[in-house]
Structure 1
Amino acid sequence: MNRALDDEVRRLLKIKNYMARKRVEFHRQEWFRYKKLGDAWRKPRGKHSKLREHLSRRPPIVDAGFRSPAKVRGMHPSGYYEVLVYNLKDIENIDPKIQAARIASSVGSRKREEIAKRCAELNIKVLN
């Protein structure tokens, strides 16, 4: 981590990364049974749903306990907040102390080089 972070934020980032590794994939109820459902999470709302009632031998349900700490939510593991950059104008709005640039995938190689060069001049970290 290049950024100077206080001990509390460092501790919370470690917790966030640990929780992210431990977090299970949440699947929709009976996602394995019907292909048309897909496995994207949907809250079970059935009156007799075993999953909704948290009965044993059922997969976990999305819950507030799985969230990362609020102070570091949305933060990159390096300690910066990501800003998606499409052109050179977007770089001017970045604060290099707390934000880092991520060049959009739709940007071509020529403009990507220009953006990377400008970021180096302004001491802005590029994440990709």
Structure 2
Amino acid sequence: MESLSTLLKLRRRMKSKRPEFRRYESHKKLRLRDKGWRKPRGRHNKLRQMYGGKWSGRALVRVGYGSPSAVRGYHPCGKKEVLVYNPSQLESINPENQVVRIASCVGMKKRLAIEDRAKQLGVKVLNPVQGGE
């Protein structure tokens, strides 16, 4: 099997060639613009049928665009991302091959406590408080 760094380079190269999958008619409705991909399911939908010039070159989400399964969930630095909700979860983190991302639902007081504990344990936090302590 290929090494982790080789697979990460391959994933980076594959992502650079991957098209930007936009939702059908997202250019017409602002509320659809940032919602992400949805498969077109309409009976006469031109994109689903790949019918016509402007639709035939447009990419649909397919299996072949995926990244290598061995590096899914890895941060570009080569370490596995772990989502953390409280400081006690940091005890099970291995700093050599894991990094921490603090969940978005965590409040400021607990976020600062997680960052302090991570600093003591030598664990890298991917989303630290901006302009905090």
Tell me which interval the TM-score lies in, with the shorter structure as reference length.
Answer: 0.7 to 0.9
How far did 1:107 drift? 3.6
TM-score of the superposition, structure 1-length normalised? 0.73
| Counterpart contact for 1:84–1:104, Cα < 8 Å | yes
| 1:91 alignment counterpart | 90
Specify the code of the residue in structure 2 equivalent to 1:26.
Answer: F
Higher RCO, Cα 8 Å, sep 6+: 1
How far did 1:111 drift? 4.4
| Counterpart contact for 1:45–1:52, Cα < 8 Å | yes
| 1:45 alignment counterpart | 41
Q: Distance in 2 between matches of 1:18 and 1:107?
A: 37
Q: Which runs of 5+ in 2 are unaligned?
A: 128-133
What is the aligned residue count? 121
| 1:81 alignment counterpart | 80
| 2:14 alignment counterpart | 19
Give the CA RMSD over aligned residues.
2.7
* Structure with greater helix share of residues: 2
How far did 1:78 drift? 0.8
TM-score of the superposition, structure 2-length normalised? 0.71
Q: Distance in 2 between matches of 1:74 and 1:25?
A: 20
| 1:127 alignment counterpart | 126
Per the alignment, in what secondary structure is the counterpart of residue 47 of structure 2? coil
